[in-house]
């Protein structure tokens, strides 16, 4: 057996496999052959680092990027060559058109006031500034209402403006059999008919992976790029991207009937050995991953063996039952929080959430490093 990894710093270690990011983008681009494949890099590229992830996707072949805010878009613009095209999913913030124009960002315009401001910017600059038009087909978040389609069309026709793309967003793509998917596809097709010749985009990761009818001219994968599960109830085919490790602080023997952690929620049913590990909710390890006498918590892995979390997750540390290990872990030995044996979705299932939240919460006290699937790049 290889010697266990020992901490070289004072806290956790977060490793992002840039090679896996590239492989995931290439795999999805093959599925969506015939459509352009973008890359959603919002929320710091789902916690992996927007600069590094954007560069990896660009090296893999991506040229269209989707950020949530202008600040994110500016970070992508600074990281990539001039051939990158950057959409801002949150639309056009009031008064921000000059910023978007200066940074060559394309708003996903979702309301009449946004469209008015953007068309005024087009007139002022005497050019058709690129943007997408976002229509709400049933999710009731951002997007023009369907009864505004004729108004939008009249506004852009008055000045001869053509958008780069029209788009909508699926509400239930992760549940392929949901009736709403068919309803939204039909509604979006009716919107497309009002804008002939304009490229269209509907699919997120799940939409891309489940129904070719959703592909149109552009797909916008997000969670699948980062190794997360996109479709409920199906095997996840994507390569894991993130490894998170945290060091053991100490081990101790706990007697039958003693409790572990705040609230005394977990009573040991047998003599046990507990490892105290340096990670907690301040590091994005959710309190809802705790265990109690009535609820099994999540698992971590030590030397490839799953070990259950015991008691309540605290701010800085967790207890892990290592009784079944042939040898107790040494102080400084690294515990796999996320990696080949424990996925983001494993934790998400225990916490009654989704892998997206697990990934985007990884802002803890970690040493962060990047690899191409082998040695760290720093």
Angle of helix 50-60 versus helix 18-31 axis, rounded to 10: 50
Residue 161 annotated among the catalytic residues of the structure: no
| 260 CA to centre of own chain | 33
Contact 277, 302 (CB under 8 A): no
Angstrom distance (rounded) from CA 227 to CA 234: 14
Angle of helix 70-79 versus helix 50-60 axis, rounded to 10: 50
* CB-CB neighbours of 189 under 10 Å: 14
Sign of CA dihedral 229, 230, 235, 239: negative
User: What is the DSSP-derived secondary structure letter of residue 213?
Assistant: G
Question: Which residue of the set 22, 42, 281, 356 is catalytic?
Answer: 42
Residue 42 annotated among the catalytic residues of the structure: yes
For strands 334-338 and 85-88, give the pairing: unpaired
Angstrom distance (rounded) from CA 100 to CA 76: 13
Question: Which residue of the set 22, 161, 262, 370 is catalytic?
Answer: 262
Contact 13, 190 (CB under 8 A): no
Residue positions annotated with a catalytic role: 42, 262
């Amino acid at each position: 057996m290889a010697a266990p990894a020992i901490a070289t710093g004072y806290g956790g270690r977060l490793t992002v496999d840039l090679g896996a990011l590239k492989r995931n983008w290439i795999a999805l681009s093959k599925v969506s052959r015939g459509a352009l494949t973008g890359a959603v890099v919002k929320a710091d590229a789902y916690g992996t680092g927007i600069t590094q992830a954007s560069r990896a996707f660009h090296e893999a072949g991506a040229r269209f990027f989707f950020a949530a805010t202008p600040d994110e878009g500016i970070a992508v613009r600074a990281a990539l060559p001039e051939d990158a095209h950057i959409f801002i999913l949150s639309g056009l913030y009031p008064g921000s058109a000059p910023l978007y124009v200066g940074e060559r960002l394309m708003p996903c315009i979702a309301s009449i006031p946004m469209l008015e401001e953007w068309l005024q910017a087009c007139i002022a600059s005497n050019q058709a500034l690129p943007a997408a038009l976002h229509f709400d087909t049933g999710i009731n978040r951002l997007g023009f209402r369907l009864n505004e389609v004729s108004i939008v069309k009249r506004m852009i026709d008055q000045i001869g403006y053509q958008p780069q793309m029209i788009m909508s967003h699926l509400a239930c793509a992760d549940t392929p059999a949901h009736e709403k998917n068919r309803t939204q596809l039909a509604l979006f097709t009716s919107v497309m008919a009002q804008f002939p010749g304009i490229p269209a985009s509907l699919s997120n990761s799940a939409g891309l992976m489940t129904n070719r009818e959703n592909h149109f001219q552009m797909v916008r994968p997000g969670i699948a790029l980062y190794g997360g599960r996109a479709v409920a109830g199906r095997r996840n085919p994507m390569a894991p991207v993130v490894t998170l490790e945290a060091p053991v602080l100490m081990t101790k023997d706990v007697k039958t009937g003693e409790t572990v952690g705040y609230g005394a929620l977990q009573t040991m049913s047998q003599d046990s050995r507990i490892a105290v590990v340096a990670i907690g909710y301040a590091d994005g390890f959710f309190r809802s991953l705790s265990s109690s006498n009535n609820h099994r918590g999540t698992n971590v892995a030590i030397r490839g063996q799953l070990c259950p979390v015991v008691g309540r997750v605290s701010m800085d540390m967790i207890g892990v039952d290592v009784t079944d290990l042939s040898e107790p872990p040494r102080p400084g030995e690294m515990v796999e929080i996320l990696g080949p044996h424990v996925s983001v979705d494993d934790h998400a299932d225990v916490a009654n959430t989704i892998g997206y939240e697990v990934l985007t919460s990884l802002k803890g006290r970690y040493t962060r490093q990047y690899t191409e699937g082998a040695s760290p790049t720093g």
